[in-house]
Amino acid sequence: MAQAIVPAPAAGRQRAAGAVVTDLVRFSPAFTVGAVLLLITLAFTLLSVLSPYDPTDRHVVPADLAPSLAHPLGTTSLGQDLFWIMTFAVRNSLIVAGLAVVIGRSIAVVLGSFLGYTGGTVDRALSSVTDSFIVIPRLPLLILIAAILKGTLSLPALALLIGLLDWAWPSKRYRAQVLTLREETFTQTAAFSGMRPLTVILREHVPFLVPFILADAITGFLYAIGMEITLSILGLTDLAVPTLGTTIYWANYYQALLSGKLWWLIAPVAASILMVVGFYQLSTSLSQYLDPRTRARALARRAAT
């Protein structure tokens, strides 16, 4: 009986994307908050193109000015305009985190599904290797490698490094997901009815995996942002490239707090908190909408209030 009540997803898909967004905006405050915050972040990122100063140039503006009309976020002790630096910082942090998630998750999905579908000794052997990678503490390894490569750690290299250390755990999750899908009755019936295995995977399993990958990518993104900021604050990344973490590093380096230049610290910290919270609010409310099960529960809850 329940299926009849809930608007079938097929019907949902036909609705134009715009309509979906307006629904979400009207009905899920989390989505609105998230969307607004992300729009600000995107605006910041795009503004970096208009920056009159090159981010690596120093002493282009008078140093240590408090926020004013001329410099909305104030200036740093290195004589840089904090507003334009922040546009590059937000953009670079997003690039690192985005790349890291793509690298990490693609390895995880490929490996996870490969293990899930092949099974047998190959699966057991590779799985125990994956397990041992899970067992190795990731952060110290990351710090060690970053400390070694530090001077030469460009943005893509940093993303690759973070990505390469964040595939073990997700691959195990994907393998488990694939295993359950393989056991599902509809897979057997599809296989019996002569569907070639590849089409079974593409047409039957992928729609199941996509929301799962989306949700998992969120955690991946949060991990990557966290790692970039942690490594940079510890001074283990290329300090010349402005990112959220390196801006905080320089603020600490020039004792922004002690000498009363608070704006230099507030800007990167507030930016990283707002960006991450915005992203998380948006993505969770979106994935709730896409996943039929959670939508049903949401409807039930909504109707009750």
Partner 1 sequence: MSEPRDGIRPGLTRRDFVGRGVALGGLLIPGTSLAAFLSACESGHPVQETARTSAQLPVNVPRDKTLVIDQIFRYSVTKNFNMYSPTTPSPTRHGLVMDTLWYIDQQTGQWINALASDKPAYNADFTQMTVTLRSGVAWSDGVPFSADDLAFTVQTLMASPGLIWSSDMQVNVKGIAKQDERTVVFTLKKPNPRFHLYFTSAYNAMYMMAKHVWEKAADPRTFPNFPPVSLGAYTFQDVDPNGYWELYKRRDDWQKTTAGMVAQNPGPDYVLTLFYGDDQHKVIAMKQHALDVLIDLNTEAFQTLRKGTSSVSSWYNDFPWAYPNELNVRFFGFNQTRAPYDNRDVRWALALALDLVSLQTNYEGGVTRVTPFQVPAVPSLIGKYHLPLESWLQQLSIDVDGQAYKPYDADVPKRIGSWAKASGHNVSDSISQLHQLFGIGWWKHAPDMATKLLTKNGFKKDGSGKWQLPDGKPWAMTIIAAPDEADAYRLALGAQDQWKKFGIDVTVQSLERDPFNQRQYVGDFDVTSTWGALAPTAIADLWQGLNPFHSRYFAPIGQSTQAQGSNNWMRFRSPELDRVIDQLTGTSPDNAAALDLSQQAVKIWTEQMLTLPTVSFKKFVTTDSTWWTGWPKSDHADRQPLYWFMGGRFAVQKVVPAK
Partner 2 sequence: MNLVAEATDLTAHYIVDAYGQKRTVRAVDGVSLAIRRDEVFGIAGESGCGKSTLLKALLGAITPPLTVRGGSVSYYVDRQRMDVLRMPEEDLRALRWRVVSYVPQGSMHVLNPVRRIRSTFRDFVQAHRQVGDRESDEMARRYLDGLGLPPKVLDSYPHQLSGGMRQRVTIALATILAPPLVLADEPTTALDVVMQRAVIGMLEQTRREAGGTLVLVTHDLGVHAHLAHRVAVLYAGQVVEEADANTLFERPLHPYTKHLIQSLPRIDDRARRVGIPGQPPALDAPPPGCRFHPRCPHAMAICRAEQPPMETVGPDHRVACFLVSGGAGDGG
Partner 3 sequence: MRLLVSYVFPRLLQWAVVIVVGVTVAFAVPRLSPTQPVDQMLGRMSGMTATDPAAVASLRSAIIAMYGLQGTPLEQYGRFWQHLLRGDLGPSLTAFPTPVTEMIWQALPWTIGLLGISTILSWLLGLALGTLSAYRPHALWSRLLANGMVTIYPIPYFILALVLVLVFAYYVPLFPLVGGASGPPGLSLDYLGSIVWHAFLPALSLVLVLTAFRFLVARALASGVLSSDAVTFAETAGIPRRRIVSRYVMRNSMLPQITDLGLQIGAMFEGALITEVAFSYPGIGYRLFTAILQSDYNLILGVTLFSVVGIATAALLIDFAYPLFDPRVRYQ
Footprint of partner 2 (CB under 8 A): 1, 4-7, 19-20, 22-24, 26-27, 289, 295, 298-300, 302-304
Q: Which does 176 bind (CB under 5 to 8 A by kind): partner 2, partner 1, partner 3, none?
A: none
Q: Which amino acid is at 209?
A: L
**Cβ closer to partner 2: 3 or 121?**
3
Are residues 73 and 82 in contact, defined by beta-carbon separation less than 8 angstroms? yes
Does 152 help bind partner 3 (rule: CB under 8 A)?
A: no
Beta bridge partners of 75: 81
Minimum distance from residue 15 beta carbon to partner 2 (Å): 9
**Cβ closer to partner 1: 136 or 277?**
277
Q: Which amino acid is at 236?
A: L
**Cβ closer to partner 3: 39 or 202?**
39
Interface residue with partner 1, options 255, 299, 300, 302 (CB under 8 A) = 255
Q: How far apart are CA 44 and CA 84, in angstroms?
A: 9
Q: Which does 26 bind (CB under 5 to 8 A by kind): partner 2, partner 1, partner 3, none?
A: partner 2
Angle at 28 between CA 23 and CA 30, to 5 degrees: 135
Structure tokens at 69: 């009309």
**Cβ closer to partner 2: 6 or 141?**
6
Q: Which does 5 bind (CB under 5 to 8 A by kind): partner 1, partner 3, partner 2, none?
A: partner 2
Interface residue with partner 3, options 66, 129, 176, 299 (CB under 8 A) = 129
DSSP string, 33-68: HHHHHHHHHHHHHHHGGG-SS-TT--SSS-SSPPS-
SS3 content of the chain, % helix, strand, coil (to 5): 75, 0, 25
Question: Which residues touch 165 (CB under 8 Å, ≥6 apart)?
Answer: 104, 138, 141, 142
Beta bridge partners of 81: 75
Interface residue with partner 1, options 259, 297, 300, 302 (CB under 8 A) = 259
Q: Which stretch binds partner 1 (CB under 8 A): 85-93, 165-173, 261-269, 290-298?
A: 261-269
Minimum distance from residue 66 beta carbon to partner 1 (Å): 9
DSSP string, 112-167: HHHHHHH-HHHHHHHHHHHHHHHHS-HHHHHHHHHHHHGGG--HHHHHHHHHHTSS
Rounded alpha-carbon distances, angstroms, from residue 293 to 21, 183, 210:
19, 20, 14
Q: How far apart are CA 131 and CA 163, in angstroms?
A: 17
Residues lying near partner 3 in the complex (CB under 8 A): 30, 128-129, 131-137, 139-141, 143-145, 147-148, 222, 225-226, 229-230, 233-234, 257, 269, 272-273, 276-277, 279-281, 284, 296-297, 300-301, 304-305
Interacting residues toward partner 1 by CB under 8 A: 58-59, 77-78, 147-148, 150-152, 233-236, 238-240, 248, 252-255, 257-260, 262, 265-266, 269-270, 273-274
